[in-house]
Each structure stands twice: as structure tokens, then as C-alpha cells.
């Protein structure tokens, strides 16, 4: 995230002796992207951050393509069989070489720490709340929060009640849209949100404990267990541009016009292989002849995932909360019959939805078949 943060105790200069009261050293760790050519953060630890006691088991993850038919889908994810902590509860739904999209129904707190070694993570909180505890500090979260966790951050999640979470794992950084940033990285005046809307970690007292502490490391094809000799949240201070952060969907200021605005005005995040847009409550188009419903369109270069979060969905009936529609590239889609005409003269919409447009085709996993509305492709008749 391109703005500077400084938390806790840090020395006046980087890479210098930073001493405790007894004269011993704090240990510096540089966390950086693209080698030494992109954003980075320096952390200061009570102990060396490399103290691995033992390598544990490797737990393979194999994503298998399920139904190969090329068609529109309606997936009722509220019915997915999922429970446990924020890692074990994940049920992959769609994937390609850039991204894995999962759903998780989380009813347990984590008794271990997680570090994603190969993916940035985006968690959209559909319901519930809790605390994300990381080596850079804590973040309280609740309904409508987007939690962005860059790879390499060590974290665990405590839940206060059951959380339903849409999970996106990206093999490239997840960032704010470049067209809403100036050349210095600051969000521009016409951006639908700004840095004031972003919550950053609150650093707590370092955990000064030795023992055996399990860190599960996610890699491309599985999870590697590693046991460290001290608690990983032993940081006394850090500064830089690399950290987890939260933005709430209700803090997005919608862009409206006299005629129907295309989906890019709803964009909230980007990566190299996909974009994330959110549809929020907003006034409809105000031209006297405007048709507020989206026009039928064909995404010939992207697959569209739409997660229905809250409210009434103007363009379609028969959609449940937490449903996902998938419209693959090359097929036209749009409002259901009657919805196009019925939208004329409407003044506003009250809805929340998250859209993920991928630039490569998505594969569907086997588990989706059990919660797939097989009649959805015929819903435009």
C-alpha cells in the first residue's frame, strides 16, 4: 500500500545498532518486494526472525477442474460445507494461474500462525467479526471489510462469532487502482476513496516468549508446517510501506452520471491478473431517458465473478445473499427479462456486491457442482 507508516520503536538510521536497555541488540528484518526495487518495511525484533526449530509436514493442495461446460453459473455459496479456522475452512471455487477464489465459513479462532509465501490475500467479510493479529500489529474487522494481506505477513485470526468470508489469493500484488493514484502514489482527488478511509495495524506490545510456535506457510501447491523457537509477534517497531490494511465497502463513494456508468467506475482494487469492483448503494442515472439497468454485454476478454453481499439486486431475481454468478468470457449476459424495462424511472439502488473480473478463463472445481443452479443459463428466457 503506497503510503508511509511508522509504529513503535525504531532507530534513527536503518541498518545501525539498535540497543535494548541492557545493551543487547534488537534484530532488524527487511521485508521487500521485487528484490530491493519496490516497496518495503523494516521490522525490529526481540530475537532473530530466522530461528526455525524444525520442519513439519507438508500438506498438498491440488485444485482439480470440475465441470468443463462453457456456461453461465449461479453458485449458492451460503450452502457450502465449510467450518473451522480461517485457513482450514477455505473451500476453493474457481481458479486460474493468477488467482484462487474461495469461500470460508469460519467458526474457530486460529491456534497457529499463517504466512502466505506465494499469494497476496484479499478477505471480504460477509458477516461476523474479530481481530486479525499479525507481526505488524492488530486490526479489528467486521461486516463489509476488505482485508488486504501481502504475502510474507505472519498472522492469525480470532473470531468473535462466525465469519463468512470471500477469499481471493493472488500471485501478484493486490493494490489500489493505478488510475486513481498520482505519480507519488497518493490517491487522487477524484478517487472514490482516500487514505483516510484505510485502517492500518495497531502495534501491540511484543510477545516475549520462547517455545515451539507453529507457522503454516502457504505455497503454490500446499502448506508447509514450520516450528519456530519463539513467538513470531515479537516486533517492537517497524516503518515502511508494506503492511496489511483494511478498507470498508461502505466507505466507497459511488461515481454516478446522467447515463449508465460502466463497471470500471466501481473499481476498488487491482492486480495484474484481475480487478475488483464493488457495487454500493447509489443514485441511479439522471438523464430523462436513462435506463438504469446494466445493458446486456459480452466480456470477450474476461471472466466475471459477482458475489451478492446485501440488499436488493435490481437486475435479477432469484439470487440469494452470498450467491456467486459466473459469466465466462465470450458469452453475453445482462438483466433478466422485464428488469431492463422496469428499471426506467427508478431513482436509486440499495445493494452491496463484489465483482472480480479475471483476464484469463477460470476453472471451476468439483465442489461447485453440488451448489450449482443448473437452470441458471436459461434464466434469460
What pairing do the DSSP bridges indicate for beta strands 210-219 and 113-116? parallel
CB neighbours of residue 162 within 10 Å: 15
- Strand pairing partners for 260? none
Which value, to the nearest 10 degrees, does the dihedral of the CA atoms of residues 104, 105, 111, 114 take?
Answer: 10
For residues 30 and 37, what is the distance between their CA atoms, to the nearest angstrom?
A: 13
Cβ neighbors of 184 (< 8 A, separation 6 or more) are none
Cα distance between residue 364 and residue 367, in whole Å = 8
For 253-378, give the CATH class: mainly beta
Report how far residue 180's alpha carbon sits from residue 268's, in angstroms, rounded to the nearest whole number.
Answer: 9
Over its C-alpha atoms, the chain yields an Rg (Å, rounded) of: 22
Provide the residue-wise pLDDT of the chain in tens; the chain has 381 residues. 579 999 999 999 999 999 999 999 999 999 999 999 999 999 999 999 999 999 999 999 999 898 889 999 999 999 999 999 999 999 999 999 999 999 999 999 999 999 999 999 999 999 999 999 999 999 999 999 999 999 999 999 999 999 999 999 999 999 999 999 999 999 999 999 999 999 999 999 999 999 999 999 999 999 999 999 999 999 999 999 999 999 999 999 999 999 988 889 999 999 999 999 999 999 888 999 888 888 888 889 999 999 999 987 766 777 889 999 999 998 998 888 877 787 888 888 889 999 999 999 999 998 888 899 999 999 888
- DSSP H helix total and E strand total for the chain: 1, 27
**Sign (positive/negative) of CA torsion 256, 299, 122, 104?**
positive
3-state secondary structure at position 349 = strand
Of 333, 292, 296, nearest in space to 314 by CA: 292
Q: Can you tell me which residue has the cell 498520482?
A: 182
Grid-cell match 431513482, residue found: 347
pLDDT at 1: 59
Q: How buried is residue 271: exposed, middle or buried, by Cβ count under 10 Å (0-12/13-18/19+)?
A: buried
Angle ∠(72,365,63) on CA atoms, nearest 5? 145
Domain residue extents for the chain: 253-378
Reported pTM: 0.96
Backbone angles phi, psi at 27, to 5 degrees: -110, 125
Amino acid at each position: 500500500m503506497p503510503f508511509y507508516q511508522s509504529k513503535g520503536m525504531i532507530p534513527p538510521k536503518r541498518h545501525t545498532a539498535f540497543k535494548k536497555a541492557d545493551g543487547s541488540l534488537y534484530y532488524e528484518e527487511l521485508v521487500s518486494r521485487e528484490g530491493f526495487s519496490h516497496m518495503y518495511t523494516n521490522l525490529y525484533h526481540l530475537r532473530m526472525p530466522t530461528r526455525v526449530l524444525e520442519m513439519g509436514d507438508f500438506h498438498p493442495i491440488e485444485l482439480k477442474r470440475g465441470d468443463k461446460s462453457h456456461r453461465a453459473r449461479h453458485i449458492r455459496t451460503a450452502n457450502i460445507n465449510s467450518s473451522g479456522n480461517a485457513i482450514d475452512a477455505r473451500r476453493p471455487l474457481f481458479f486460474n494461474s493468477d488467482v484462487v477464489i474461495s469461500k470460508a465459513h469460519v467458526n474457530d479462532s486460529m491456534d497457529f500462525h499463517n504466512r502466505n509465501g506465494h499469494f497476496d490475500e484479499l478477505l471480504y467479510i460477509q458477516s461476523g467479526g474479530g481481530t486479525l493479529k499479525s507481526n505488524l500489529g492488530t486490526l479489528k474487522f467486521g461486516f463489509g471489510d476488505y482485508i488486504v494481506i501481502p504475502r510474507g505477513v505472519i498472522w492469525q485470526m480470532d473470531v468473535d462469532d462466525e465469519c463468512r468470508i470471500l477469499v481471493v489469493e493472488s500471485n501478484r500484488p493486490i493494490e489500489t487502482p493505478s488510475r486513481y493514484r498520482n505519480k507519488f502514489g497518493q490517491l487522487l482527488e477524484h478517487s472514490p476513496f482516500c487514505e483516510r478511509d484505510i485502517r492500518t495495524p495497531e502495534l501491540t506490545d511484543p510477545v516475549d516468549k520462547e517455545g515451539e510456535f507453529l507457522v503454516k506457510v502457504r505455497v503454490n501447491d500446499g502448506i508447509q508446517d514450520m516450528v519456530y523457537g519463539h513467538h513470531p509477534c515479537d516486533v517492537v517497531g517497524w516503518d515502511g510501506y508494506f503492511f496489511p490494511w483494511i478498507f470498508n465497502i461502505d466507505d466507497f463513494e459511488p461515481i454516478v452520471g446522467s447515463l449508465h456508468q460502466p463497471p470500471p467506475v466501481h473499481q476498488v482494487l487491482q492486480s495484474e491478473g484481475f480487478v475488483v469492483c464493488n457495487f454500493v448503494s447509489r443514485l441511479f442515472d439522471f438523464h430523462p431517458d436513462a435506463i438504469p439497468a446494466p445493458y446486456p454485454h459480452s466480456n470477450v476478454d474476461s471472466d466475471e465473478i459477482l458475489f451478492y453481499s446485501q440488499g436488493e439486486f435490481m437486475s435479477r431475481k432469484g439470487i440469494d445473499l452470498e450467491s456467486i454468478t459466473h459469466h465466462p468470457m465470450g458469452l453475453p449476459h445482462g438483466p433478466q427479462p422485464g428488469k431492463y424495462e422496469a428499471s426506467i424511472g427508478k431513482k436509486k439502488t440499495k445493494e452491496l456486491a463484489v465483482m472480480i473480473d479475471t483476464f484469463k478463463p477460470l476453472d471451476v472445481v468439483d465442489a461447485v457442482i453440488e451448489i450449482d443452479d443448473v437452470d441458471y443459463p436459461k434464466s434469460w428466457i
